[in-house]
Amino acid sequence: MQAIDGHTRLCGLIGNPIGHTISPVIHNTLAQREGRNLVYVPFHVEEGRLRKAIEGAFALDIHGLNVTVPYKSEVIGCLAEMDGMAGKIGAVNTLVRTANGYKGYNTDATGLYRAMRSEGICIEGEEILILGAGGAARAAAFLCVSKGAARIYIMNRTKEKAQKVAEEINHVFGKECAVPLRLEDYGKLQAGKKYLAIQATSVGLYPDADAAVIEDGAFYERIHTGFDLIYRPSCTRFMKLVRNAGGKACHGLKMLLYQGVEAYELWNDVSVSEEDARMVYDKMKEAMGIEE
Ligand code: ATR
């Protein structure tokens, strides 16, 4: 544990609930490794108190904050400035202190990109299936198009939501690159083609670990790589179905790692080495009891 003195910088996480978080492992491990006088703590913020919490954090000279459920959109109204990509996504998970208030970033998207790269997964030129049309899916969809995906299919239970996200993406990027699709309409995808799929729904999340949005093996035959944003459990039903059909499957813990690494880099104006990131990742797995 970092020795706390009169120069200790404070960073933290605001959300509700936050009891399950392992983000302190990421930031406190990095700070310790670097010998940086910084500590990171979770702050439980009750509904209706977000603005006060942000103003209070700024007044207390809190250096940087992560923001989690349910405040990733609401927090935008409390910020002095927004990063362009976060503005497009419409969600913020990292606040960086500036002279007049906090600036909002979305390191969920950039963290997903770094996680995918570290797994050898390529986005550029790919046709990508995105399962879901909620906040996590939006971040994944914007990331994929901004990194040069040839086309994305936004597949959702509620078609209207998929349609809305697709329209917005096509408008923002000025091209018809996003196609909305009902989950059960995967038969409309090009026959014989293999896709990268990003599982961005909440289905399969602990404790409902035996569920996947699509069960039909015929769908999984079309997937060469499946990336589940869920990391609890570390092997989701979606991942099992992808592997059963011969594809490669990853869970979302590396995305969590790299969203934290990117936030740490923004707060401290440093670049975290892959070796240090790997060391933090091992600590996260240890904290969560994951072996693979
Ligand atoms: P997050 O911020 O984690 O993305 P969210 O915005 O609530 O959470 O989005 C949850 C996503 O999971 C949505 O795409 C939702 O589909 P709907 O838009 O149809 O609600 C999807 N989802 C949740 N439960 C589902 C279920 N039982 N079957 C299919 N999709 C489900």
What is the per-residue pLDDT for 277?
A: 98
Q: Give Dmax (Cα) for the chain.
A: 64
Q: What pLDDT is recorded for position 1?
A: 65
The reported pLDDT for the residue numbered 161 is: 98
Q: Which of 202, 205, 229 to mutate to test the pocket of ligand 1 (most atoms within 8 A of CB)?
A: 202
- Expressed in angstroms and rounded, the spacing between residue 229 Cα and the centre of ligand 1 is 13
Rounded to whole angstroms, the Cα distance separating 62 from 51 reads: 15
List average pLDDT for each run of 10 residues in the chain, which is 292 residues long.
Answer: 90 97 98 97 98 98 98 98 96 97 98 98 97 96 97 98 98 97 96 96 94 97 98 96 98 98 98 98 94 76
The residue whose CA is least distant from atom 11 of ligand 1 is 201
Q: What Å distances lie between residue 282 and 26, 222, 261, 277, 278, CA to CA?
A: 10, 32, 14, 9, 6
Q: Is 139 in the pocket of ligand 1 (CB under 6 A)?
A: no
- R_g of the chain, CA atoms, integer Å: 19
**CB-side neighbour CA atoms (13 Å) of 272:** 30
Strand order in the sheet with 102-105: 38-44, 9-15, 64-67, 94-97, 102-105, 81-82
Whether the CB of 242 sits within 6 Å of ligand 1: no
- Pick the catalytic residue: 72, 88, 103, 285? 72
Q: Which two tokens stand for residue 43?
A: 């702050």
Measured CA angle at 28 (ends 5, 91), to 5 deg: 115
